[in-house]
Structure formats: structure tokens, C-alpha cells
Amino acid sequence: MELTGKKIILGLTGGIACYKSAEFLREMIRAGASVNVVMTQNATQFITPMTMQALSGNPVYVSQWDEPITNALAHIHITRDADAFVVAPCTANFMAKLANGIADDLLSSLSLARPRHLPFMVAPAMNVEMWQNPATQRNLAQLREDGIGVLGPASGAQACGDVGMGRMLEPLELLQEVVAALQPKSLAGKRVLITAGPTFEPIDPVRGITNLSSGKMGYALARAAREAGAEVLLVSGPTALATPYGITRIDVQTAQQMYDTVMGNVSDQDIFIAVAAVADWRVANASTQKMKKSEKGDAPQLQFAQNPDILASVAALKKRPYCVGFAAESEDLLKHAEAKRKSKNIPLLVGNIGHETFGKDENTLVLFDDKGHVELPRSDKQDLARQLIANVAKRLT
Ligand code: C5P
């Protein structure tokens, strides 16, 4: 699990988004974390310490004068052995305190006394006017300058009836951010372009040819690259997957659209990872109207034209990013994969067996380069994606 063995401090300040923090806490526990909750007095007006205690299985701290805190230095010790500290929701008032180093209750004292190496994040949640107020924006800039991770906020309908910036991120998005904060930043400052999913080649307006790629491996790589500090652009064929938080996604249908989008965005990329299962052919005589069944029972005759090879085209550019290809083979992986790496003229090709990966959450990867091949043993796709990103990062240095 993604947070196994990790100790997280979760701070709550007084806002209506506190109800989402119960779910956020639950998600962190599900991911294997042990969580200590600290609440401001105002937060207890929105959700009870009892709820957070029952969900975390740990005592909840509100004041430094509470029973469970037996010595006056507790505000220093609670964070000493923690792996991450996140304040969610973080009110405008608490942002102001953080920006100015004010320590007038347990949570603000803990924040000020946190060890310098401890990843510290806040998830702002407030009314849109409060968010846009120049005072809050000044404080926001100060938090960023101080190296505090600011998660969100998102835009949308607010509890007070307004619509705009200031909604706290959703529990699963917050979970992704905490997991991300704990990953090594091996691709800091790099730009990564990834293709993912199948393509869809129309036959007529309601029919088409596609394949069994779910997009899971490409999306997992997009998430892993962002966790490693990269700016990620994901060009995706039709999938049922949610965009990982913090990633720009452009949706396409056909191989030609995917090619155009990649070629239009590749010039300033450091790394290109082609994971998409791109159709080799499109229907050259696709109909603009829905084809009708013929009375005589004649079947339509489809003609095919070859699609551009996106990966080979990027690899052929004069100023090219570091290119990584994927190969899904049904048999004889070793032979086909190495041949493919050479023919596409790319430094790294990742092989997998089609029926073992399509639609599955787990996979086995074999990495082919000019020195031979190594296997990343069967594991969860997100875990493999992190290993692959770490491997690619090493090749760049
Ligand atoms: O040639 P083949 O489809 O087996 O190669 C697979 C690799 O090439 C994958 O990385 C895939 O994303 C990429 N590819 C591509 N454009 C195509 C066909 C494949 O980028 N038209």
C-alpha cells in the first residue's frame, strides 16, 4: 500500500470542508498510514474530535493543555517522527498565521516548530471572496516562498452558495498529493509527454475500430512522473479513467489526432513516453453517414490506410526528447521487442505480454536497452510506473 509504515499528522482548522477530512483520513488509513489528528478549537465546531479519533484509532489533540499531552514540549515532539504534515482544511485565518509565524494554539505551534525536512502541506478551503482578497493572496505567496506545499483549492460551487475558487480538493486528490510528497524528486524541472489508452478509428459516425488498452499503465506513468517533480502532458485516447491530479490532459480519438497533438507539443519536452496502443491502420473509406444493412445481405468493404507512427516520428526529430516506447506482444517478447527498439531507433523499449496487461491492475515489464534487458517483476501498475520513472531519470543523469 502506498502509505504503509508512514506516519502522517493531519491538522484541521475551522471550515465546513472538515466533513471531507473525515473521508481523507479514512483514505490515508486505507493506504496503510498511521495518522495523528490535531484540531483547532474552531474545527471542533464542524466535526467532533470523537469522529476523528474513531477513524484514526489515535487520540486527537486540540489544545496543548489537553490530558493526553503530558508535557509542555509536546508541540515539538508530535511532529518529530512524522513523514508528512498536512493541514486540511486550511482557513484563510490559518494561512495568515502560517505566513506570519503566529503560534497561538496547538496546531499553529506545531506548524511553527515542525522539523525543516518534514513535508508540510496545506489544503486551503474558503469562500471565493476570502480567497481572492489581496491579503490572502499575499499570504499564499509567502507560504509558497517558505516551501509549504499548497494543495488546490479547486473551483466550483461553495457551501455558502457562491461559485468560484476556494473549494478544498477531494479526499482522493489529497491522498494523491500526500503520496506524491513522499516520492523522490528525480524528475524535478523536467517536462514529460505521455501518450496513453487506445485509439478509435471511425468506420461511420457510430461505429469504429479500437483495442483493449485501458490506459492504466500510461496514466500510472503520468502520475509517477508528476510525483517525481515533472510537468506532465498526457495525450489520451478514449478511456474511462480519471485524470491524475496536477496533470494536463488532452483527449483525442484517432491516431492521426494523437500524432498531430504530440507533434504540436513535443518541441519543449525532455522525455516522451509512448504508451498508447495506437491503431496501425485507419479506415480509408469511412462513411460520413451511418451505414445501412443491405437488403441483399452484402457486407461493406472496408479499405485501410496506414497511420503515422508517432513514436518513430518523434524519435526521428533533430532535437528529440529522450524516447521510451512500449511493446505489447502476444508471444516471443524478447525477439520482437529488441527488434522494435532498433527499428524505431529509441534508447529504451518496455515490453509486456498483451493478455497479461490489457485492462489489468498488475503487469510485468521488461526493459530493453543497448546493453540487454532487465525485468521489473509482476506488481501493481502504479508501483511499476514509479520504478520505471526512477529508471528513466537515472538514464538522463
Ligand atoms: O509498432 P508498434 O505498434 O508495435 O510499437 C509500439 C510502440 O510504438 C508503442 O510505444 C506505441 O505507443 C508506439 N506507436 C506509436 N504510433 C503508432 C504505433 C505505435 O507511437 N502509430
Instruction: State the pairing for strand pair 304-306/281-283.
Output: antiparallel
Cell of 206: 457510430
Instruction: Give the position of cell 503515422.
Output: 308
Phi, psi of 147 (to 5 degrees): 80, 20
Residue 245 grid coordinates: 491530479
Q: How far apart are CA 307 and CA 256, in angstroms?
A: 7
pLDDT at 259: 98
- Rounded distance, CA 13 to CA 97, Å? 12
Q: Is the distance from the beta carbon of residue 258 to the nearest atom of ligand 1 less than 6 Å?
A: no
Q: Ligand 1: which residue has its CA nearest to atom 1?
A: 340
Q: Cβ(89)–Cβ(124) under 8 Å?
A: yes
Backbone angles phi, psi at 338, to 5 degrees: -65, -40
Tens-digit pLDDT profile for residues 305-346: 999 999 999 999 999 999 999 998 777 888 888 899 999 999
CATH architecture designation of domain 7-181: 3-Layer(aba) Sandwich (3.40)
Domains of the chain, by residue range, sit at: 7-181, 191-396
How many residues are recorded in the chain?
Answer: 397
Q: How many CB atoms lie within 10 A of CB 113?
A: 15
* The three cell numbers locating residue 102: 503566529
- C-alpha cell at position 257: 489526432
Place of cell 480519471: 242
pLDDT tens, residue by residue, 49-87: 999 999 999 999 998 777 655 565 665 788 999 999 999
Neighbour tally for 223: CB within 10 Å: 26
Cα 73 to ligand 1 centre (Å): 59
Average pLDDT taken over every residue of the chain: 94
CA–CA dist 164, 174 (Å, integer): 19
Angle at 176 between CA 171 and CA 177, to 5 degrees: 95
Q: Once rounded to an integer, what is the mean pLDDT over residues 134-146?
A: 97
**Residue 310, ligand 1, Cβ within 6 A:** yes
Question: For residues 257 and 273, what is the distance between their CA atoms, to the nearest angstrom?
Answer: 17
Does 7-181 match 191-396 in CATH topology? yes
Q: Which fold has domain 191-396?
A: Rossmann fold (3.40.50)
Distance CA 371, CA 255 (A): 32
Among 302, 320, 283, smallest CA distance to 199 is for: 283
SS3 263: helix
Determine whether the shortest distance from the Cβ of 278 to ligand 1 is under 6 A.
yes
What radius of gyration do the chain's Cα atoms show? Answer: 25
CA of 316 to the centre of ligand 1 (A): 14
Choose the weakest-confidence range: 204-213, 277-286, 323-332.
Answer: 323-332
Distance (angstroms) between ligand 1 centre and the Cα of 255 equals 10
Q: What is the pTM of this model?
A: 0.89
Give dist(CA 79, CA 153) in Å, integer: 25
For ligand 1, atom 17, name the residue with the nearest CA. Answer: 309
Check if 78 has its Cβ closer than 6 Å to any atom of ligand 1. Answer: no
Taking a C-beta distance cutoff of 8 angstroms, is the pair 64, 72 a contact? Answer: yes
DSSP string, 216-228: HHHHHHHHHHHHT
Q: Which of 219, 258, 309, 357 to mutate to test the pocket of ligand 1 (most atoms within 8 A of CB)?
A: 309
Any residues with CB less than 8 A from the CB of 7 and at least 6 apart, and which? 33, 34, 35, 36, 81, 82, 83
Residue 19 main-chain phi, psi, to 5 deg = -65, -30
Q: What is the model's pLDDT at position 163?
A: 87
Q: Determine the Cα–Cα distance for residues 64 and 155; give it in Å rounded to an integer.
A: 35
* 323 labelled catalytic: no
Residue 48 near residue 23, CB atoms below 8 Å: no
C-alpha cell read off for 357 = 496487461
Ligand 1 centre to CA of 340 (Å) is 9
Q: Residue 87 in contact with residue 105, Cβ under 8 Å?
A: no
Considering the chain, what percentage of its residues have pLDDT values greater than 90? 85
Residue 33 in contact with ligand 1 by CB distance below 6 A:
no
Residue 162 pLDDT greater than 90, yes or no = no
**Ligand 1 pocket: which of 235, 278, 329 to mutate (most atoms within 8 A of CB):** 278
Q: In whole angstroms, what is the distance from residue 383 CA to residue 369 CA? A: 21
Quick check: CB of 198 below 6 Å from ligand 1? no
Mapped to the 3 state alphabet, what secondary structure does 140-175 carry?
Answer: HHHHHHCCCEECCCEEEECCCCCEEEEECCCHHHHH
> Other C-beta atoms within 10 Å of 57: how many?
9
For Cα atoms 210, 349, 251, give the angle at the middle one, nearest 5 degrees: 35
Chain segment 108-132, per-residue pLDDT in tens: 999 999 999 999 999 999 999 999 9
For ligand 1, say whether the CB of 255 is within 6 Å of any of its atoms.
yes
pLDDT band at 159; cut points 50, 70, 90: confident
From the CA of 307, how far away is ligand 1's center (Å)?
A: 10
> Is residue 351 helix, strand or coil?
strand
